[in-house]
Structures are given as C-alpha cells and as structure tokens.
C-alpha cells in the first residue's frame, strides 16, 4: 500500500527523461498526434501512451488536461479514463490549488494544508479553509495550529 505521492514521482521521472533527451521532443510533432504518442511511448523510458499524450498536448498548446484540471481544483482523469477522486493514500484529489497555496506557508506541511482544506484531522468539525487570508481570519484554526500564543 502506497502512502506517498506516486503520481508526482511518475511525472518527475517523465519530466527528467524529457529534459534529458539530446533533441527537442517537438521534432516528433510533424508525425501528428498518434505518431508522436507512438514514438514517445516506444522510445522514452517512463513514457506510456498516457504520458506521451500529455507531452503532445503541452507541446501543441502549452498545457494539458491534467494541468488544466489541477489549476481549476478538479480531480484529474487517470490513464484508465476514470476520474481520480482519491490518490493512492486515500486523500482527495480535488482543491489542489488551495492545498498547494496553504502548503507554501512557512511551518505548514502538505498534510496540514490538506487537513485545513478538507476540514479533517485536528480541524474536523471546523469550516474548511481555502486561502491564507481565510486562515489568518480564523481564530479557531489558528488555535489548533498553536498560532494564538
């Protein structure tokens, strides 16, 4: 059973491969979408058809479906075309921008940010927090963090 962000690990491996190839992946763009996907999936380690499609989308438009969903706080679609509501550790895949913003606050870890957004753990029963200003205006949340001292 996994309890870490394996999706981030898979992305980082593919990104390292893309950055390390001795040629621009854009040279495969004239092959068209299906040709690009086939070539990337067959030639590059850590690239299957799904990751190759994401690379094609990024090269052709500057973004991909997964990034657009992340930026809008919606759960991503997995390589099996199923909506990924939870990750391997059982955590919600929604509200990613809010979790990321809160996780950047000095002293708050990723798990605390998740708990704030989902009103879970020590924040169970409190209103979900979706931004740093909301956190700063909530004495109840700050007290749970020890920020009332």
Digit-coded pLDDT (tens) for 14-28: 999 999 999 999 999
Which single residue is written with the structure tokens 């991909």?
64
Q: Which is nearest to 140 in space by CA: 111, 116, 118?
A: 116
Could you tell me if 73 and 97 are in contact, meaning their C-beta atoms sit under 8 angstroms apart?
A: yes
Give the number of residues written for the chain: 149
CA distances from 49 to 15, 34, 43, 127 (A): 15, 9, 11, 41
What's the farthest any 2 CA atoms get from each other in the chain? 62
Q: What is the tens place of the pLDDT at every residue in 3-12?
A: 556 777 888 8
């Amino acid at each position: 059973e996994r309890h870490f962000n394996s999706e981030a690990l898979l992305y980082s491996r593919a990104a390292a491969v893309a950055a390390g190839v001795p040629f621009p992946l854009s040279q495969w763009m004239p092959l068209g979408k299906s040709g690009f996907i086939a070539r990337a999936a067959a030639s590059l380690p850590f690239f299957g058809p799904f990751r190759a499609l994401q690379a094609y989308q990024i090269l052709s438009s500057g973004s991909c479906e997964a990034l657009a969903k992340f930026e809008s706080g919606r759960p991503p679609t997995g390589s099996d075309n199923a909506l990924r509501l939870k990750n391997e550790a059982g955590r919600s895949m929604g509200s990613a921008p809010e979790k990321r913003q809160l996780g950047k606050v000095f002293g708050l870890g990723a798990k605390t940010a998740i708990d704030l957004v989902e009103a879970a753990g020590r924040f169970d029963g409190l209103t979900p927090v979706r931004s740093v200003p909301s956190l700063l205006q909530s004495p109840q949340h700050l007290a749970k963090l020890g920020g009332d001292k």
